[in-house]
């Protein structure tokens, strides 16, 4: 993610050039939600580059989320149901399964009811300002055992972008649903990773999972989601669209009645930008640069793993936010004359490798994806524009560190250890300079 509020963005340019009542909706949850997970993972091949198909055989114990969203006509209320098939991949038995309810940290609200484990009703507990749902298990889940956990949940979507950059909000006629489902966090040597995230950085630390998501929404909105669209049906003034995504670390959904779609095919990947007509030129530029970035990163790192990469313009207060197979770009930089549009696009494309393909704890070790995404962006400028392009972007990176007075603060701290300005200067600036120095010391081939 490009973590800059607009005031910070403006400063950097000087260096580098009472909720409404829940509306009544007809809720077709029972009709649309598959009752069982797929027998195997072969259906997810449609969204994967062919060379990644064999990895499906290695992920048979990954969680499978089956989610149904019913988006109200006002686009600010969502009625939902989720069934997740969770396998204990640890070497110890688990007495509970944790879920993150991030909506309750984003000025909105997520409420859960009708919770069952393997068909039996259970009473959960809550913690961390209702952002943590603790699901008790009647008997310990042994290593290798699987549980089916089902719940209904409702989301009241914020109508401002004040918290966490507006990753989950209905604002300016755009609905953004980032992390908008009960999410199982990583279980590791720290046990469940469930701390309240800082407002400065990304909020998730998640394992690779699979998603089958059906969305019932007003017919006039255009939907964009992680993965690939596999079915669509119109029903009067409503539409039902199904997405399948995986393996991915998250699922993202956005909707707007104003979205147009611009498409570019490149390197075997379908690139699409969902945006308002007024941002068409910016979208076309971003697609061109994204295609170039994929070509660079395919050559330098590994093949882009999916058959599609979607972009969506939203009123987010970050310059850009990465999700698996989807990138949100703020409307504020959609003018192709804005210097940051190309750099932001490429930085977020780099996150498809560093955060998604190669995962990390984004809360405790943000530099492992953000600093690397900055370094990858530098390599893009080097490959496309030569020495001059590389030096110009390197000056931008140095400018970020200079903005905090070249402070000798460690790059490997958790997000919560930095102020907003320090997070930008150290993680995006000094951290990237570390990887540059490492390359210079070891040599490009190493």
Bridge partner list, 310? 272, 326
13 pLDDT exceeds 50? no
pLDDT at 11 over 50: no
Helices (H) and strands (E) in the chain, counts: 7, 22
pLDDT beyond 90 at 443: no
What is residue 292's predicted lDDT score, i.e. its pLDDT?
A: 98
Q: CA 230, CA 34: separation in Å to the nearest integer?
A: 14
Q: Which domains does the chain have, with CATH numbers?
A: 6-17+261-350 (1.10.390.10), 29-257 (2.60.40.1730), 367-442 (no CATH)
Residue 69 pLDDT > 90, yes or no?
Answer: yes
- Give the residue-averaged pLDDT of 88-94: 97
Residue with tokens 């969680």, as numbered in its chain: 63
pLDDT tens figures, 307-322 = 999 999 999 989 999 9
**Tokens representing residue 237 in the block:** 């003034």
Please state, in angstroms and rounded to a whole number, the distance separating the CA atoms of residues 222 and 86: 31
Q: What is d(CA 42, CA 430) in angstroms, rounded to the nearest whole number?
A: 43
Find out whether 101 and 110 touch, Cβ atoms under 8 Å.
yes
Sequence-ordered alpha helix ranges (H) in 6-75: 6-16, 29-32
Looking at 19-33, 187-201, 353-367, which range is the least confident one?
19-33
Q: In whole angstroms, how far apart are CA 86 and each of 76, 248, 407, 432?
A: 30, 15, 44, 37
Lookup: tokens for 302 = 């590994």
* Both structure tokens of 195: 């701390």
Residues 6+ apart with CB under 8 A from 51: 303
pLDDT at 19 (0 to 100): 30
Q: Are 330 and 320 in contact (CB under 8 A)?
A: yes
Q: What beta strand segments (E) does 291-376 contain?
A: 308-314, 320-323, 326-330
**Is residue 286's pLDDT more than 60?**
yes
- Alpha-carbon gap, residue 7 to 368, rounded angstroms: 26
**Burial class of residue 321 in the structure, from the number of CB atoms within 10 Å of its CB (0-12 exposed, 13-18 middle, 19+ buried):** buried
The number of angstroms, rounded, from the C-alpha of 25 to the middle of its chain's C-alpha atoms is 28
pLDDT at 166: 84
């Amino acid at each position: 993610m490009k973590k800059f509020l607009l005031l910070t963005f403006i400063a950097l340019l000087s260096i580098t050039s009472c909720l409404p009542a829940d509306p009544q909706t007809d809720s077709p949850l029972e009709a649309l939600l598959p009752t069982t997970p797929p027998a195997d993972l072969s259906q997810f091949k449609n969204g994967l580059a062919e060379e990644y198909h064999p990895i499906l055989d290695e992920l048979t114990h990954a969680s499978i989320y089956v989610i149904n969203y019913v988006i109200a006509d006002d686009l600010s209320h969502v009625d939902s149901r989720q069934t997740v098939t969770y396998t204990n991949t640890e070497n110890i038995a688990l007495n509970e399964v944790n879920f993150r309810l991030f909506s309750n940290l984003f000025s909105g609200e997520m409420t859960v009811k009708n919770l069952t484990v393997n068909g039996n009703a259970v009473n959960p507990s809550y913690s961390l300002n209702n952002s943590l749902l603790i699901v008790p298990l009647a008997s310990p889940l042994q290593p290798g055992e699987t549980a089916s956990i089902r719940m209904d949940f409702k989301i009241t979507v914020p109508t401002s972008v004040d918290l966490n950059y507006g990753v989950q909000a209905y604002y300016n006629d755009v609905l953004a649903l980032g992390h908008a489902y009960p999410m199982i966090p990583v279980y590791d040597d720290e046990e469940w990773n469930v701390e309240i995230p800082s407002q400065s950085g990304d909020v998730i630390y998640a394992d690779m999972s699979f998603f089958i998501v059906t969305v019932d929404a007003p017919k006039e909105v255009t939907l964009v989601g992680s993965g690939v669209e596999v079915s669509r049906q119109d029903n009067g003034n409503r539409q039902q669209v199904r997405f399948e995504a995986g393996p991915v670390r998250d699922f993202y959904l956005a909707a707007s009645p104003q979205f147009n779609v611009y498409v570019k095919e490149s390197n075997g990947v379908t690139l699409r930008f969902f945006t308002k007509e007024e941002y068409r030129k910016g979208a076309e530029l971003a697609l061109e640069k994204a295609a170039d970035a994929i070509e660079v990163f395919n050559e330098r790192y590994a093949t882009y793993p999916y058959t599609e990469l979607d972009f969506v313009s939203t009123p987010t207060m970050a310059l850009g936010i990465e999700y698996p197979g989807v990138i949100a770009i703020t409307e504020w930089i959609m003018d192709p004359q804005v210097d940051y549009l190309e750099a932001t696009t490429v930085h977020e494309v780099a996150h498809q490798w560093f955060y998604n393909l190669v995962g990390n704890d984004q809360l405790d070790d943000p530099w492992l994806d953000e600093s690397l995404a900055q370094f990858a962006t530098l390599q893009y400028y080097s490959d496309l524009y030569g020495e001059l392009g590389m030096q110009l972007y390197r000056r931008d990176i140095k400018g970020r560190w200079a903005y905090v007075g070249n402070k000798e603060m460690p790059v490997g701290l958790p997000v919560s250890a930095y102020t907003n300005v320090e997070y930008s200067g150290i993680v995006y600036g000094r951290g990237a300079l570390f990887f540059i120095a490492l390359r210079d010391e070891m040599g490009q081939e190493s």
